[in-house]
Amino acid sequence: MKLLTLFLLYIFLIPVAVAQNEPLSDLDLSELRWQNRALVIFAGDIESFKYQQQLRLIGDSMEGIKDRDLKVISIFEDGNSNMDGVNLSSSSVNLIRKRFEAKKNIFRFILIGKDGAVKLDSPETVSMEVLFERIDQMPMRKREMNQ
């Protein structure tokens, strides 16, 4: 019975887990230009203390994140990197690491504007108040709020 249960779990759960971990087609950050702002967060892994702190701050402010057209891109040294929870291919991760000259296992928080330019680059966690204030001062965001 125990063997049958393990066999059924293997047949039904493993394909689901594998399907959920399929990489996204290559992401070029320029694809987001004029559509979305991006938060690129570098960390050693998903368990990194600063990454977990930042994730909690983001999680508490999802309405503001969505309202400001932000995509959250998490780049890890170990583990699956992702954009808004969807896994990224290793070639995408390598391109992003190269663009920002990311050092291994170092936390870094980068805000990229809709124009593709870096608007904020911090080695520390960033409060959502600071992030939203920075975004809300941008000319494009001011136009968005007026419409």
Cα 27 from Cα 73, distance rounded (Å): 10
pLDDT surpasses 80 at 18 = no
Q: Is residue 8 part of a domain?
A: no
* In the block, residue with structure tokens 């559509």: 35
Residue 51: pLDDT band (50, 70, 90) is very high
Q: Is residue 5 part of a domain?
A: no
Amino acid 27: pLDDT: 82
pLDDT surpasses 80 at 136 = yes
Q: Is residue 142 part of a domain?
A: yes
pTM of the model: 0.82
Phi, psi of 74 (to 5 degrees): -105, 120
Q: Is residue 107 part of a domain?
A: yes
The number of helix segments (H) and strand segments (E) in the chain equals 6, 6
Q: Is residue 59 part of a domain?
A: yes
Domain that holds residue 69: 40-146
Q: Say how many domains are in the chain.
A: 1
Q: Is residue 1 part of a domain?
A: no
pLDDT digits (tens, 9 = 90+) for 118-127: 999 999 999 9
Could you tell me which of 45, 53, 50 has the C-alpha nearest to residue 79? 45
Q: Average per-residue pLDDT in the chain?
A: 86
Amino acid 22: pLDDT: 58
Q: Is residue 83 part of a domain?
A: yes
Does the CA dihedral 72-73-78-79 come out positive or negative?
positive
Amino acid 120: pLDDT: 98
Q: What is the DSSP letter of 73?
A: E
pLDDT digits (tens, 9 = 90+) for 52-84: 999 999 999 999 999 999 999 999 999 999 999
Residue 1: pLDDT band (50, 70, 90) is low
Q: Is residue 25 part of a domain?
A: no
